[in-house]
């Protein structure tokens, strides 16, 4: 089956299309803006060392009496240990078919209209994989943050949102008590309304809007990022807080764009032909984006047992009352 490859399409697709998608995808992804980006990978996998054991320092006693043994003056040995996690690259793809008659309309920048939606789709699907992935359907990807968060780090919301988040045993403490610093909160847009309802003791608003200015939302100086790409379900999660530096992601350098004009596009589930580009006078833009992610739970001084702590905590909405 003939199709136009990248070299053939270069005169038709401006170079700025390819670079724009690479730049725009992170802007449409909450995770890509919060987590640490690694250098682009030239292979499918990368091994990531994770600290699993911390070294220990010892005091050295001076031999100042006959009762002290010579061994007590020796400097003791200690060692650090590392575990290995694998970051695996997988492919995201989208095909956008467009009638040639639409493209021929010079007064309408159809590619300019489509590109933001392609970027949004890439960012949304990447976020969903990182937040809610089952660790099985995408081979090589770890379990998502929401299902992987242990029950001890999950809080059900009450009528006292302030206590749920800032309380002694609240959301923030569940992470900090294990030695992790909270770098940001990620929440659905609905959570902004909940924050606006929190009052001070005198009845004043904690998040008071500033006239003619965008209110910056933060919790104890930590920024709150609100989901705008639809990757979070507010009926399931209200807030995810944690150390986003423990999450890393990377892309491969061989991202490509192809313009197709002779292909048949099939339904992957039924095999039915959806479009025959040549017969229907259509062209299609196929975009592939290869990315991967991994999360580490390194030991800390407050939690020296490897694998026994998780760097995130979740605020869940209250369960509906039974009738």
User: H/E element holding 242?
Assistant: strand 239-242
Which one of 33-47, 55-69, 217-231, 234-248 scores highest in mean pLDDT? 234-248
Residue 203 vs residues 123, 167, 209, 216: alpha-carbon distances, Å = 39, 19, 15, 20
Question: Nearest CA to 311 among 302, 298, 322?
Answer: 298
The answer to whether residue 243 scores a pLDDT higher than 70 is yes
User: H/E element holding 51?
Assistant: strand 45-53
Give the span between the Cα atoms of 129 and 57, in whole angstroms: 41
The pLDDT of residue 213: 47
The pLDDT of residue 59: 72
Range name among 34-43, 125-134, 230-239 with the lowest pLDDT average: 34-43
The pLDDT of residue 82: 58
Question: Nearest CA to 87 among 123, 53, 127, 37?
Answer: 37
Mean pLDDT of 233-238: 94
The pLDDT of residue 201: 66
- Helical H segments across 80-158, by residue range: 100-103, 110-132, 145-148
Range name among 32-36, 55-59, 135-139, 194-198 with the lowest pLDDT average: 55-59
The pLDDT of residue 5: 42
Write out pLDDT tens, residues 134-162: 999 999 999 999 999 999 999 999 988 88
Between 112 and 76, where is the model more confident? 112
299 in Cβ contact with 139 (< 8 Å): no
Residue 314: what are its φ and ψ, rounded to 5°?
Answer: -130, 135
Give the span between the Cα atoms of 127 and 32, in whole angstroms: 8
Write out pLDDT tens, residues 1-52: 334 344 544 554 555 666 655 555 555 799 999 999 989 888 888 887 776 5
Give the span between the Cα atoms of 224 and 227, in whole angstroms: 10
**Measured at the alpha carbon of residue 44, what is the angle toward residues 118 and 1, in degrees to the nearest 5?**
60
For the chain, domains (ranges, CATH) are 6-55+81-150+158-296 (3.30.2400.10)
The pTM assigned to this predicted structure is: 0.80
Place of tokens 């449409």: 28
The pLDDT of residue 319: 79
């Amino acid at each position: 089956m003939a199709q136009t490859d990248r070299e053939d399409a270069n005169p038709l697709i401006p170079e700025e299309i390819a670079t724009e998608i690479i730049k725009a995808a992170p802007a449409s992804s909450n995770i890509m803006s919060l987590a640490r980006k690694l250098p682009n990978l030239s292979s499918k996998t990368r091994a990531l060392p994770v600290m699993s054991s911390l070294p220990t320092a010892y005091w050295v006693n001076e031999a100042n009496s006959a009762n002290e043994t010579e061994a007590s003056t020796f400097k003791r040995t200690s060692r650090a240990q590392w575990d290995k996690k694998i970051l695996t690259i997988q492919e995201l793809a989208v095909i956008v078919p467009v009638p040639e008659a639409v493209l021929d309309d010079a007064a309408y920048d159809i590619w300019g209209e489509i590109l933001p939606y392609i970027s949004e789709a890439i960012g949304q699907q990447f976020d969903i994989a990182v937040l809610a992935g089952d660790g099985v359907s995408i081979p090589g990807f770890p379990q998502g943050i929401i299902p992987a968060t242990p029950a001890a780090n999950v809080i059900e919301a009450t009528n006292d949102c302030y206590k749920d988040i800032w309380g002694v045993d609240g959301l923030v403490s569940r992470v900090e008590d294990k030695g992790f610093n909270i770098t940001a909160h990620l929440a659905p847009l609905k959570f902004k309304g909940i924050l606006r309802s929190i009052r001070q003791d005198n009845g004043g608003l904690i998040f008071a809007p500033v006239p003619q200015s965008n209110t910056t939302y933060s919790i104890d100086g930590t920024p709150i990022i609100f989901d705008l790409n639809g990757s979070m379900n507010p009926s399931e999660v209200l807030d995810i807080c944690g150390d986003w530096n423990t999450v890393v992601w990377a892309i491969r350098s061989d991202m490509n764009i192809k313009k197709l004009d002779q292909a048949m596009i099939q339904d992957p589930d039924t095999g039915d032909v959806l479009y025959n580009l040549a017969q229907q006078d259509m062209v299609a833009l196929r975009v592939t984006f290869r990315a991967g992610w991994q999360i580490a739970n390194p030991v800390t001084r407050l939690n020296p047992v490897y694998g026994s702590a998780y760097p995130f905590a979740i605020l869940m909405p209250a369960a509906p009352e039974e009738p």
